[in-house]
């Protein structure tokens, strides 16, 4: 959960937040207790606190994810945390700053041309959800790739009636955590290499861990299913 920026002086009371967002005061307090929202940026007494416009915007995102898309608190929390998480120590950070831009440029240059834009017929609400999840609205090629995969699912009879988009919240939560750990892990073990070598290795790792993730994911789906079936025999 990112702390609100400090530009605007906080002038909103919790009652104003409730009125402008349509979220009851008790629910706002619950969100703060559960860590979905940070504590008030400005407290002037035991029961007096002021909030700013950024806070209101965050509250609206939480509300959408929770009340329109019914995502569980835990999932929303992780998604929000990801927006502003600080996963790296100083050494890893230095490595990322020196080799990161070159790596990104290289990945973008090496990437296959974007597939023709497929259309999974998203409603405006669904598009907003994907943007809130951070899956749409950034790089055009990456957007096209995701929309293509979703259109393929729809064509195979796996439409959003059977597979609602909220399910993607789980992917963002768990694969996002995996991505952070990979970055940390890579940085730890690349210590002592020069920046050009790091760039090359990172680009190769990026290409080669994709199949590894796919293989392990498939394997674990099958393993989970087998475990569930085996349970039958040992009641």
Check binding of 219 to a copy of itself (CB under 8 A). Answer: yes
Among 37, 61, 103, 165, binds a copy of itself (CB under 8 A): 103
Instruction: Give whole-number Cα distances, 22 to 25, 49, 78, in Å.
Output: 9, 19, 23
d(CA 34, CA 28): 10
Per the CB < 8 A criterion, the answer to whether 83 and 150 are in contact is no
Residue 212 parent element (H or E) = helix 195-230
**DSSP 8-state secondary structure symbol assigned to residue 158:** -
d(CA 180, CA 69): 25
Taking every pair of Cα atoms in the chain, the longest distance, rounded to a whole number of angstroms, is 64
Check binding of 59 to a copy of itself (CB under 8 A). Answer: no
Q: 48 or 216: whose CB is closer to a copy of itself? A: 216
Q: 107 or 117: whose CB is closer to a copy of itself? A: 107
Q: 13 or 143: whose CB is closer to a copy of itself? A: 143
Tokens of 82: 């990801």
Q: 80 or 135: whose CB is closer to a copy of itself? A: 135
Q: 75-97 burial string, b = 16+ CB within 10 Å, else e?
A: bbbbbbbbeeeeebeeebeebbe
Q: 43 or 83: whose CB is closer to a copy of itself? A: 83
Q: What is the CA radius of gyration of the chain?
A: 21
Check binding of 164 to a copy of itself (CB under 8 A). Answer: yes
CB of 193 to a copy of itself, least distance (A): 9
Check binding of 28 to a copy of itself (CB under 8 A). Answer: no
Of the listed pieces 21-29, 40-48, 112-120, 213-221, which binds a copy of itself according to CB under 8 A? 213-221
Q: 127 or 180: whose CB is closer to a copy of itself? A: 180
Among 23, 72, 109, 120, binds a copy of itself (CB under 8 A): 72
Check binding of 91 to a copy of itself (CB under 8 A). Answer: no
CB of 208 to a copy of itself, least distance (A): 5
CB of 16 to a copy of itself, least distance (A): 26
Instruction: Find the binding residues for a copy of itself in span 126-145 (CB under 8 A).
Output: 134-135, 138-139, 142, 145
Instruction: Find the binding residues for a copy of itself in span 192-211 (CB under 8 A).
Output: 201, 204-206, 208-211
d(CA 49, CA 39): 9
Check binding of 218 to a copy of itself (CB under 8 A). Answer: yes
Give the torsion sign (CA, 170, 62, 77, 27). Answer: negative
């Amino acid at each position: 959960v990112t702390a609100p920026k400090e530009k605007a002086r906080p002038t909103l009371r919790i009652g104003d937040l409730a009125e402008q967002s349509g979220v009851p005061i008790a629910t706002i307090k619950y969100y703060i207790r559960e860590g979905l929202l940070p504590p008030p940026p400005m407290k002037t007494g035991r029961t007096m606190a002021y909030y700013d416009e950024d806070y209101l915007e965050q509250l609206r995102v939480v509300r959408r994810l929770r009340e329109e898309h019914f995502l569980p608190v835990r999932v929303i929390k992780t998604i929000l945390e990801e927006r502003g998480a600080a996963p790296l120590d100083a050494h890893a950070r230095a490595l990322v700053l020196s080799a990161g831009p070159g790596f990104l440029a290289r990945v973008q240059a090496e990437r296959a041309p974007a597939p023709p834009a497929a259309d999974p017929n998203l409603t405006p609400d669904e598009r907003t959800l994907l943007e809130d999840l951070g899956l749409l609205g950034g790089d055009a090629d990456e957007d096209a790739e995701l929309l293509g995969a979703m259109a393929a699912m729809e064509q195979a009879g796996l439409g959003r009636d059977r597979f609602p988009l909220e399910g993607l919240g789980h992917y963002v939560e768990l694969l996002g955590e995996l991505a952070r750990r990979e970055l940390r892990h890579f940085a730890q073990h690349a210590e002592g290499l020069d920046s050009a070598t790091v760039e090359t290795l990172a680009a190769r790792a990026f290409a080669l861990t994709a199949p590894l993730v796919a293989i392990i994911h498939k394997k674990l789906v099958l393993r989970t299913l087998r475990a569930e079936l085996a349970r039958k025999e040992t009641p």
